């Protein structure tokens, strides 16, 4: 994280602390799993971040945990720390992390364990600006339509499906001063 006085509020200084960052190269940039301690909640979350160069990092969706927390006292619902850098196994990204069932400071007798979070390799994107992006052909079931695609973005963005053969299509993103975070269907 690179911060100056103007960015301190935007980054959450005083409300959260950054504990660790496990990073890996992806498509000419870097993704990272960031352990973020939230003071008010007294828990550590795992969030995704990205960097063009491993020196300057941006949180992809601040406050959104990579895997949602359960209720306090449930296994893995407390503090979380990435065990190592994520790795790719087949078409999946695997993130192993340690987690416990309680709050960081308030619960002294926490029980912990090792957990696994996975997501598809081609389901993470990070684009910013204005322009058009057309993906390579992707395997898509016949019942998928533009309304079944969930896009997490800031700004104006339009998504359309361009047929590319049997059970394949290209996704077309039209960004207008937008940031595209994640695409799922």
Compute the chain's Rg from CA coordinates: 18
pTM score: 0.64
**What does the pLDDT look like over 39-86, one tens digit per residue?**
999 999 999 888 888 998 988 888 888 888 889 999 989 999 998 888
User: If we measure between CA atoms, which residue out of 67, 28, 35 comes closest to residue 51?
Assistant: 28
CATH, range 5-122: 2.115.10.20
Question: Averaged over 83-94, what is the pLDDT?
Answer: 86
Is the pLDDT reported for residue 172 higher than 60? yes
Q: For residue 138, give the nearest of 99, 106, 164 by alpha carbon.
A: 164
- CA dist 25 and 79 (Å) reads 26
pLDDT tens for 123-141 read 665 666 788 888 888 887 7
Give Cα 8 distance to the centre of its chain. 21
Residue with tokens 């992390």: 97
- Strands (E) across 39-184 are located at 43-51, 58-59, 80-82, 87-89, 92-100, 112-120, 124-134, 138-139, 150-163, 168-184
Complete DSSP assignment for 140-162: --TT--GGG-EEEEEEEEEEEEE
Contact by Cβ (8 Å): 112, 100? yes
What average pLDDT does this structure show over 146-153? Answer: 61
Q: pLDDT for 102-120, tens place per residue?
A: 999 999 999 999 999 888 7
Confidence of residue 20 (pLDDT cuts 50, 70, 90): very high
Task: State the chain's mean pLDDT as an integer.
Answer: 80
Domain locations along the chain? 5-122, 123-184
pLDDT value, residue 75: 92
* Position 146 confidence tier, pLDDT thresholds 50, 70, 90: low
**Residue 137 DSSP code:** P
The reported pLDDT for the residue numbered 99 is 93
Q: Does residue 23 register a pLDDT over 60? A: yes
């Amino acid at each position: 994280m690179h911060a100056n006085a103007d960015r301190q509020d935007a980054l959450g200084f005083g409300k959260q602390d950054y504990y660790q960052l496990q990073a890996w190269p992806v498509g000419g940039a870097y993704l990272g799993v960031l352990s973020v301690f939230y003071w008010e909640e007294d828990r550590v979350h795992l969030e995704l971040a990205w960097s063009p160069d491993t020196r300057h990092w941006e949180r992809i969706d601040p406050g959104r945990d990579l895997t949602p927390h359960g209720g306090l006292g449930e296994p893995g619902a407390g503090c979380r720390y990435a065990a190592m850098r994520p790795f790719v196994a087949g078409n999946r990204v695997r993130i192993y992390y340690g987690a416990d069932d309680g709050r960081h400071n308030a619960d002294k007798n926490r029980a912990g364990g090792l957990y696994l979070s996975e997501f598809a390799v081609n389901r993470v994107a990070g684009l910013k600006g204005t322009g058009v992006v057309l993906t390579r052909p992707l395997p898509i079931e016949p019942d998928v339509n533009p309304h079944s695609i969930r896009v997490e973005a800031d700004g104006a963005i339009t998504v359309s499906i361009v047929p590319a053969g049997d059970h394949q299509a290209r996704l077309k993103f039209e960004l207008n001063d937008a940031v595209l975070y994640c695409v799922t269907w």
